[in-house]
Chains A and B, each alone.
Chain A
Amino acid sequence: MSEIFDAKAYVTHMQALNELTIESDWRPEVEAHITATKKAADLLLSFPLDDTEEAAPVFVP
């Protein structure tokens, strides 16, 4: 999925949504970080979790 992810467009859209200041020389790093996070998320979303698997409301290790 990450291969078709348009990080430039996504960052531009989210920058406006969240009213962020992103200088032009910061942008490549921000795009790289959201791309890396997308890659991590893809790994998680491709894992088959049972419908009954819930996020722990009170986390106890």
Chain B
Amino acid sequence: MSSFDSIHADATTIAGSVKDTDLTAADVISSSLDRIKQLNSTLGAFTDVTETKALRDAQEVDRQVAAGAYLPLAGVPFAVKNLFDIEGITTCAGSKINRDNPPAAADAFLVSRLKSAGAILTGSLNMGEYAYDFTGENVHDGNCLNPHDTNRMAGGSSSGSGSSVASGMVPISLGSDTNGSIRVPSSFCGLFGLKPTYGRLSRHGTFPFVGSLDHLGPITRSARDLALVFDVLQGPDPMDPAQADKPFLATTTELKNGIDGLRIATAGGYFRSNAEPEALAALDAAAAAVGASREVEIPEAARARAAAYVITASEGANLHFDRIRSRPDDFDPDTRDRFLAGTMIPALWVQQAHRFRSWFRAMMSEMFENLDIILTPTTPFAALPSGTKTITLDGQVIPARPNIGLFTQPFSFIGLARRSGPARGAPSARHRRRQGAGRSTLNQEGG
């Protein structure tokens, strides 16, 4: 593989080439940095590029490979949403206000995990302010654009995480997902995204949004890369109080087993009536590919989404209360008005949402006694044109911005693992490959 090819290859291929010394890590990083310089002024994916450090780290990886070290991500470039701590860089979380903070003293836990596996950090990525976004629009850093069609949204809030991978700047990125912020940009940019089970991966060293809903995970160019990266990211960390006490879950070695024996169904009802035809075509193509002929209805999905909405608005506003009260002019107007409204939510509503969460979780656990995987569209439609204010779903004209997460919110709400990926076999797949329209798999123990 040439260094030019490495801008399109997945991480598994790149790491294999570096380990076999077909490529050096220095070659790969130089290609990645060149690509960033070439495209970033148009796409707005990166907010900081750590060029000097990346080149130095690449030399160190090459030295370790030459010495025979085992590095599963040898020489693989990566970048992280700018709510991850990077030593020496201020963690902005998409905001203007956090620029006043001192630089981070150390890397986030997951950044350290990737580096220890031989991956090389190239910088931090654009995002919606304080992760309260599905569009990729940011008034402070500029909008992050979809590399397949720059007139369309990259999706958010991990917008740079999607745009950087889809444009060939890096093969893998990390994002956060509170209500869909890994899955939405994965869908809009035609990529693979994993939101693991709540508590599976440490969130230490990242700026929070909604503690009871926050997850971290990867966005990649291939399904096997999700497994490879997920295996590297796992590890106990007492610094995250929400991390579940679960043993290591090997996924890369499970890929060879395929889907034999798995009980897979598609979701009907709410997930069909609110989806555009192109999203349903992607879903049906995926279902046909895995032989999923059974359709199930997930009861009270709309209420689950409503509960996630209330919890998010309230917990997010609580986190930012001092900032929204003292510096409202310094917020992005699209998040400011929601944080202001979030300070006004009665405790009664929030408590009801949390009690409903218990009910919904128990109901879904019962469903998974007879199922292993449920397929849904990730988003109700492909990537929307930038600036879209309203959409029509199921005959209703509704605001676009909050409803992009219509299908993602009901599941992150109860912490279920979800994986989003493009459905290439569907009719009009070419259109979807260009503009995204992922289908999502949902399972209970998939990560």
B328→A20 contact, CB < 8 A: yes
A56–B358 touching, CB < 8 Å: yes
A residues near B303, Cβ cutoff 8 Å: 43-44, 47
User: How far does the alpha carbon of A14 sit from the alpha carbon of B314 in the complex, in Å?
Assistant: 14
Tally of chain B residues near chain A (CB < 8 A): 45
A6 on the interface (CB 8 Å rule)?
A: no
- Quick check: B344 and A10 within 8 Å, CB to CB? yes
Residues of chain A at interface, number, CB under 8 A: 31
Please indicate the chain A residues that have their CB under 8 angstroms from the CB of B352 in the complex: 41, 44-45, 49
Measured CA separation A31–B358 after assembly (Å) = 30
A54/B337 in contact, CB under 8 A: no
Task: Establish whether residues A56 and B357, one from each chain, have CB atoms under 8 Å apart when the complex forms.
Answer: yes
Scan A27-59; emit 1 where CB is below 8 A from any B CB, else 0. Answer: 001110110110011011101011001111001
Beta-carbon contact of A55 and B414 below 8 Å: no
Contact of A36 (CB < 8 Å), options: B212, B336, B351, B402: B402
Given contacts A19-B325, A44-B349, A47-B356, contact A61 B361 (CB under 8 A): yes
Q: In the bound complex, how far is the Cα of B307 from the Cα of A55, in angstroms?
A: 12
Q: Is A21 an interface residue (CB 8 A)?
A: yes
- Nearest chain A CB to B399 CB, angstrom units: 8
A59, B212: Cβ atoms under 8 Å? Answer: yes
Interface: B88 (CB within 8 A): no
Q: Which listed residue, B313, B325, B361, touches A20 by the CB 8 Å rule?
A: B325
Question: Roughly how many angstroms separate A53 CA and B361 CA in the complex, as a whole number?
Answer: 11
Q: Does B40 contact A (CB under 8 A)?
A: no
Contact status B198-A59, CB under 8 Å: yes
Most A CB within 10 A of own CB, among B321, B341, B357 = B341
Chain B residues contacting A37 (CB-CB under 8 Å) are 309-310, 313, 341-342, 345, 349
- Does B333 count as interface, using CB distance less than 8 angstroms? yes
Q: Report the minimum CB–CB distance from A23 to chain B (whole Å).
A: 8
> CA separation between A36 and B398, bound complex, in Å?
11
Bound-state Cα–Cα, A43 to B349, Å? 10
CB pair B343 A20 closer than 8 Å: yes
Minimum CB–CB distance from B387 to chain A (whole Å) comes to 16
* Residues A60 and B199 in contact, CB atoms below 8 Å apart: yes
Q: How far is the CA of A36 from the CA of B242 in the complex (A)?
A: 30
Contact B198 A44 (CB under 8 A): no
Shortest Cβ distance from A13 into chain B, in angstroms? 9
Chain B residues, CB < 8 A from A11? 341, 344
Identify which of A30, A56, A59 contacts B341 (C-beta below 8 A): A30
A18 within 8 A of B: yes
Contacts of A40 in B (CB 8 A): 306-307, 309-310
Q: Please report A residues at the B interface, Cβ cutoff 8 Å.
A: 10-11, 14, 18-22, 26, 29-31, 33-34, 36-37, 40-41, 43-45, 47, 49-50, 53-56, 59-61
A-B contact pairs, 12 of them (CB 8 A): A14-B343, A14-B344, A21-B328, A36-B309, A44-B310, A44-B349, A47-B359, A49-B359, A55-B355, A55-B357, A56-B358, A61-B198
Residues of B within 8 A of A (CB): 197-199, 212, 242, 244, 300, 302-303, 306-307, 309-310, 313, 321, 324-325, 328, 333, 336-338, 340-346, 348-349, 351-359, 361, 402, 414-416
Contacts A26-B328, A45-B352, A55-B357 supplied; 12 other A-B pairs, CB < 8 Å: A18-B343, A20-B343, A37-B309, A37-B310, A37-B341, A41-B353, A44-B310, A45-B348, A47-B300, A49-B355, A49-B356, A54-B358
By Cβ-Cβ distance, the 10 closest A-B pairs, closest first, are A61-B415, A55-B354, A33-B341, A40-B306, A29-B337, A41-B349, A14-B344, A34-B341, A43-B306, A61-B198
